[in-house]
Amino acid sequence: MHLYIIEGLDKTGKTTYTKNKFVGYSKVRLPGGYDYTQELRRNFLDGKIPEAEMIHMIYGEHMAALNYLYKNNTESYVLDRSFISFLVYQKEPLKKYGYYDIYKKLLEEMFMKLKDKYEIKILYFSKRLVQRKDDWLEYMDVDVLKKSFDELLTQELFAGMVEHVDVEYKR
C-alpha cells in the first residue's frame, strides 16, 4: 500500500495537484477534514476555545488520523497535509505551552509505525504561486515557515521519502 503525504507552504498548488494527480485515491485532509473540527475551529476563532485547548484538539486529530491509517492499511491514501504542517504552523504556540517536543516525539513514533505498513512518499511544495493582500500568511514569516519545513523534512526519519514538487502557475 502507498501513502502519499502532501506538504508545504500555503498557496503552492498542493490541493489542486492532489485533486488532479490522485483521482480515485482515498484522501484525508488535515487539519479540519471533518465536520466536527470545522465547528471547533469556528469556536476557537470566536474566542470560545482557548489556544492551548485548541492545540490539544489539533494534535488529537493528527494522532487519530495516523492511528486510523495504521489500522486500515487495506488501500492507498493521500494525506493533504499531515502532522508535519502541524509542527511547522503551530511551532510557536506549541513551544509557548511546552508541548512541541513531546507532541513531535509522539507523532513521529506513530509515523515510524506507518513506515512498516506503507510505502511512503512525501511530496513537498515550497514555491508559493500566489500572494494576495488578504492572505493570512502575511502575518507569518514565510521564510521562517519554509526553514521549519526544510529542517523537519531533512531529518533521518524522512530519508528517501521526500520529493520536491514545483507547480507552475497558469492564468
| Least confident interval from 50-54, 68-72, 109-113, 141-145 | 141-145
More confident: 60 or 138: 60
Q: Check: CB of residue 17 under 8 Å from CB of residue 165.
A: yes
Give pTM, 2 decimals.
0.88
CATH number assigned to the domain covering 2-153: 3.40.50.300
Domain boundary assignment for the chain: 2-153
Judge residue 3's burial from the number of C-beta atoms within 10 Å of its C-beta, 0-12 exposed, 13-18 middle, 19 or more buried.
Answer: buried
Tell me the per-residue pLDDT of 61-109, one tens digit each, with 9 for 90 and over: 899 999 999 998 889 999 988 999 999 999 999 999 999 999 999 999 9
Picking from 74, 166, 95, 77, the residue whose alpha carbon sits closest to that of residue 129 is: 166
Percent over 70 (pLDDT), the chain: 89
Residue 168 has pLDDT above 80, yes or no: no
Question: What's the grid cell of residue 141?
Answer: 514569516
